[in-house]
Structure 1
Amino acid sequence: MNVHQFSQERFRQMPLVGIVRNISFDGIRQILPIYLAAGFTTIEITMNTPGVAEMIAYALAQYGGSLNVGAGTVCTEADLQRALAAGAQFIVTPIIDEKVIRSCVEQDIPIFPGAYTPTEIYRAWSLGARMVKVYPATALGPEYIKDVKAPLDQVKLMPTGGVNLNNLAQFLQAGADGFGIGSQLFDKKMIQEENWSALKAHFEAFVREYHTGA
């Protein structure tokens, strides 16, 4: 059972979800305090990252009072059970799996399922998604978010894939309610070189860009 619940208020203050994929446990240990200090409040660790359960448990034990910690790339009910057993406070999926969504809704666990077309997006929302991850948003761009929001203005959208410093403000203006950002945020070169001061400045640039656009 989660010691800390997902904080909607924390997420509202900074709705950028950093996606951790294939970063080592030691890397995570170094990154988390920098991530928090830069102003982020929510982090997702993907289920296909080696040692994911330990990472989620560690992040919650150390920073659960100030950080929302969730599991990503949850595709099956087995993935979901593993994620929740580790303490994940929210769930992100790349696809729509009705059983996974319903199970989260029943347990009052926020879920951000992945969808692409307006039909998929609305279906995910009607099943009880807290927010719908529009994935991959790389080729679609901000205009697609704006187009979908025109008729489906009540649906909260979280573009993921392809969001970067150059287009974050455009996605915000198009009506995006949140963002999933992986490799653009967790710069591989900076992490490999353990250049933590550069990584912190990089994180802060995203936070600044969000606040400027908001």
Structure 2
Amino acid sequence: MNLFAKILEQKVFYVIRNQDYNVAQKFCEMLINLQVTCLELTFTIPKVELLIKTLRKKYPSILIGAGTVLTLTEAMQAAEAGAQFLVGPIFNRAISDFCHRKGLIYIPGAMTLQEVTNIVNADWEIIKIFPATAFKLNFIQTIKTFFPNKIYMASGGIDLTNLKEAKALGYDLIAVGTFVTGNINNKIIEQEKIQTIINTINLN
């Protein structure tokens, strides 16, 4: 199975966003131990490229990508660290061109039809609608009217209250973050609570 197919098979991306490197690493290790197989490590983590490299080496079967990639420099750092996909809140032409040259999977964000069109014209298959709850979740159905064959990720504001609805409305992938791993500065790791949340996500 190629990398693109493996990403589509995941369905749920667990986004790690923390300002403490050690806490972020503990969250990643805990999620992996709880059978999570796809992690998006954002550039809000100090030295995130080092964490990506460490996890890729230790867990070669886990999909590890970089998130909140806003600049070409960050894209290059993520690629060098071994990130298997790059996710951004917006579309960046320089990052797009770099990923095409390197054969990397780029998942840029959009929240308007024009932004989605720009991503489609740049020849990317997965489009992140961000923040997904800025409008009603059925916004995805309007987008799919114009580009029905693309793959859409819901990101931003997705939690257990709307996860099932997002899937039912046509989102192919879901990104979950704070409601699973806690506040960005939260240093309390509650494994039992997170296990319950993961189980609920899997049931939906």
In structure 1, the partner of 2:175 is 180
Secondary structure of 2:132's aligned partner: coil
Q: Structure 1 residue aligned with 2:92, among 94, 97, 122?
A: 97
Q: Provide the alpha-carbon RMSD of the alignment.
A: 2.2
The residue that corresponds to 1:31 in the other structure is: 27
2:45 matched residue in structure 1: 49
CA deviations on 1:119-156 (whole Å, 9 max, x unpaired) are 21121122122311111112223211122112221121
- Mapped partners of 1:40, 1:207: distance in 2: 10
Cα 1:135/1:157, change in 2 over 3 Å: same
Q: Give the one of 126, 129, 137 matched to 2:132.
A: 137
Note the C-alpha offset of 1:91. Answer: 0.4
Corresponding residue of 1:78:
73
> Which letter maps to 1:152?
F
The question of whether the paired residues in 2 share the 8 Å contact of 1:14 and 1:40 is answered with: no
Q: Secondary structure at the match of 2:167?
A: helix
Q: Given the alignment of the two structures, is residue 151 of structure 1 paired with residue 146 of structure 2, yes or no? A: yes
Does the alignment pair 1:121 with 2:113?
no
The one of 5, 12, 15 equivalent to 2:11 is: 15
Consecutive unaligned residues of structure 1, counting only runs of 5 or more, are 210-214
Report the alpha carbon displacement of residue 195 of structure 1 after superposing the two structures with TM. 1.9
The one-letter amino acid of 2:175's match is G
Q: Is contact 1:132-1:156 (8 Å) kept?
A: yes
Number of residue pairs aligned between Structure 1 and Structure 2: 204
Give secondary structure in 2 for the equivalent of 1:150: helix
AA at the equivalent of 2:121: S
Q: Quick check: 153-162 or 23-32, which moved more? A: 23-32
* TM-score between both structures, scaled by the size of structure 1: 0.86
From 59, 75, 82, give the equivalent of 1:63. 59
CA drift at 1:23:
5.2
User: Where do 5+ consecutive residues of structure 2 fail to align?
Assistant: none
Letter aligned with residue 22 of structure 2: D
Shift of 1:117: 0.7
- Give yes or no for contact 1:105–1:128 (8 Å, CA) kept in 2: no
Residue aligned with 2:180, SS: coil
- SS where residue 13 of structure 2 aligns? strand
13-22 vs 29-38, which deviates more? 29-38
The percentage of counterpart residues that share the same residue type is: 23
Q: Is the 8 A contact 2:69 2:88 kept in 1?
A: yes
- Shifted more, 78-87 versus 196-205: the winner is 196-205
Partner amino acid, structure 1, of 2:143: V
Tell me, yes or no, if structure 1 residue 109 matches structure 2 residue 104.
Answer: yes
Residue type of the partner of 1:46? T
Q: Is the 8 A contact 1:6 1:90 kept in 2?
A: no
